[in-house]
Amino acid sequence: MSSMYLSEHERARLRRVWVAMMVSLALLALQLWRIQVGQGERYETSLEQQSIRRVQIPGPRGRIFDRHGVCLADNRPNYCVALYLEELRVAGKRWVSVGDAWKLIQRVAAVIGLEPQLTRTKVESHLDNRKALPLIAWRRVDVPVLARLSEASILLPVVDVMVDADRVYPQGASASHLLGYVGTVERGNEENGYHSYWPDMVGKGGMEQRYDELLRGEPGGRLVRVDVSGFKHDQIGFRDPVPGGDLVLTLDGAIQRSAEKAMADVVGAVVVIDPRNGDVLALASSPGFDPNTFSPSISVETWTRMLEDSRKPLFNRAISGRYAPGSIFKPLVALAALESGKANARGSFDCQGYYEIGGQRFSCYEGEIHGRLDIRRALELSCNVFFYQLGLQCGLDPIYHLALAVGLGQQTGIDLDNETAGLLPGKAWKRIARGETWRDGDTCNLAIGQGALLVTPLQMAMVTATIANGGVVYQPRLVLSTRSRNSTEFQEVPPVRIRTLRWSSDHLALVKKGMRDVIQNPSGTGHLACLPDVIMAGKTGTAEYGRKGQGHCHGWMVLFAPYDQPRYAVAMVMDDAITGGVSIGPRMRQLMQEVLNRAGEEHG
């Protein structure tokens, strides 16, 4: 119909419709400009946030060495067979089903000749939570498997070989309690700004845990573009991870192995200290475990077996075991009596096989009668009756304060978790813990290292080192130097001197001579540890535990060598011993023979 036949009213309506259309088009154009130009950057950023996924790649863990550069903890390439499930999709299909993925896994398994290492449940979990990551179907594959996979690569375009890192301990079970172990850490999605991640390793014991922050590498990452379903399109960015820092320990791997060999068939512990600076040369707890079984994860069966083992292989007896020291405490009693002026080199007591006080009889070991003895001879023969009387003559306070000064009743400060302080009983402790006053019988028990007194092997090694070096109390040093991330230089960790005890040289010489007689004289309780070519000094101990009369005893021996210029201070303890001299002596002899022979070769 021609507009000339339209009425004025109809033409007005058309004009209004035309204006409305023009206004709508103008508004639409304005809105498009605002979205595409005015706020384009904002929407582009939002789009990128929705389509880009950040994948974290953990950095290689730092290494741990002994003082001679022998590697104790390292990383090993772990070749994995990975499947890119998003590449299974075909045109028109939006999702990959668990069935599709499982068929692919079965197909690859037939090619490489290995059974699948995962289940359909794990495949389903991966598709639900980690589609931007490849699915690791096989770990630790060997060269023949890689060769078969390479030959079939054309038929299996969605399969790839990736390299992960395993924590390995080249020395096996050696120094396991000291080194500790690692495990994989679980994180939730979106943690630390990442949408998904490769499993990272975290220290879960020993030096691995104590220095985890230093050893752990700095993560790298990938930027992956994904679609709305979460499937990967391409990789648009990559940042290399940074290896963690390194540790050099004071540990001497050869001495550590010798210490472990000396205790291989029994339950106990050995600690070897350099008395010149407090360096820990060996720290062994028996039985031990192989930390390689924890990497990357330990099986439920192995973990259960360790927990149910009555010998407690995961327990570090060297720093956490609490033992009555028995007669290895007597050199401190002798020093306390001498330094307090309550005894002298010429003083003596008579031993008739027992000592009575307050109607209670305190016996010498197996009622042996030693006759009249001075301090030096009493140390050699380990006469209990002599030390009952010396302890009473000295009194509790000098013994207590000297024991406290050399580090008993408190942690040594070693760089390991779960160290125990032991127990140094005194008047206040007995009043609070038992609601009783301190009695002379308590002093008699303390004077021979029995009663409530409890120590660790590490504490007694440090006490022996203090006697050997003339009174310098060191904090045990485990770390010789460290190298931080992004650095090529190692920084030395200096020794820490806690205090110097101003002992009389004559008093110290007397006690040392008594300890020398323990080993060097045929009648000494530690003579079974004697070596033909070197003079050593030490003390044996036998401490009853459990119900009285059942015959359960801990065997002890402490020692320093060589006598004139001590380089080694050793403490060794064994569960269920006959006596310290009989059970520990031959083992100490074996250990020191190897240690001193090796030292002679190094200095020769």
96-132 pLDDT, tens per residue? 677 777 878 888 888 877 887 777 777 777 776 665 5
pLDDT number for residue 551: 67
Q: For the residues 83-101, what does the mean pLDDT come to?
A: 63
pLDDT number for residue 189: 44
Give the right CATH number for 53-249 from 1.20.1250.20, 3.90.1310.10, 3.40.50.720, 1.10.1380.10: 3.90.1310.10
- 469 Cβ contact list (under 8 Å, min separation 6): 275, 276, 566
DSSP code at position 24: H
Pairwise CA distance, residues 497 & 150, whole Å: 60
Which of 72-76, 232-236, 378-382, 443-447 has the weakest average pLDDT? 232-236
pLDDT number for residue 90: 52
pLDDT-derived band at 46 (thresholds 50, 70, 90) equals: very low
Which of 47-61, 392-406, 528-542 has the weakest average pLDDT? 47-61
pLDDT number for residue 456: 97
Q: Above 90 in pLDDT, residue 328?
A: yes
Pairwise CA distance, residues 107 & 313, whole Å: 43
* Burial class for 18, CB neighbours closer than 10 Å (0-12, 13-18, 19+): exposed
pLDDT-derived band at 35 (thresholds 50, 70, 90) equals: low
8 Å CB contact between 233 and 227: yes
pLDDT-derived band at 62 (thresholds 50, 70, 90) equals: very high
Q: Above 80 in pLDDT, residue 133?
A: no
Q: Is the full-model pTM beyond 0.75?
A: yes
Average pLDDT of the residues of the chain: 85
pLDDT-derived band at 226 (thresholds 50, 70, 90) equals: low
Q: For the residues 236-260, what does the mean pLDDT come to?
A: 90
pLDDT number for residue 98: 72
Q: Above 90 in pLDDT, residue 315?
A: yes
Three-state DSSP class for residue 61:
coil
Cβ atoms within 10 A of the Cβ of 345, count? 14
DSSP per residue, 450-465? -TT-BB-HHHHHHHHH
Q: For the residues 258-284, what does the mean pLDDT come to?
A: 96
Three-state DSSP class for residue 418:
coil
Q: For the residues 417-430, what does the mean pLDDT come to?
A: 95
| Alpha-carbon dihedral sign for residues 538, 544, 546, 552 | positive
| Residue 47 or residue 510, greater confidence | 510
452-473 pLDDT, tens per residue? 999 999 999 999 999 999 999 9
Q: Above 70 in pLDDT, residue 330?
A: yes
Q: For the residues 414-427, what does the mean pLDDT come to?
A: 95
Residue type, 471: G
pLDDT-derived band at 231 (thresholds 50, 70, 90) equals: low
pLDDT number for residue 525: 95
CATH class for the region spanning 253-603: alpha beta
pLDDT number for residue 339: 96
pLDDT-derived band at 37 (thresholds 50, 70, 90) equals: low
Q: Above 70 in pLDDT, residue 224?
A: no
| Alpha-carbon dihedral sign for residues 474, 479, 484, 490 | positive
Q: How many residues does the chain have?
A: 604
511-564 pLDDT, tens per residue? 999 999 999 999 999 999 999 999 999 999 998 877 666 667 889 999 999 999
Pairwise CA distance, residues 148 & 113, whole Å: 9
Where in the chain are the domains?
A: 3-38, 53-249, 253-603
Percent of the chain with pLDDT over 90: 55
Please indicate whether the domains covering 53-249 and 253-603 agree at the CATH topology level: no
Which of 135-144, 169-178, 567-576 has the weakest average pLDDT? 135-144
Range among 23-27, 194-198, 564-568 rated most confident: 564-568
Q: Which residues pair with 234 in a beta bridge?
A: 225
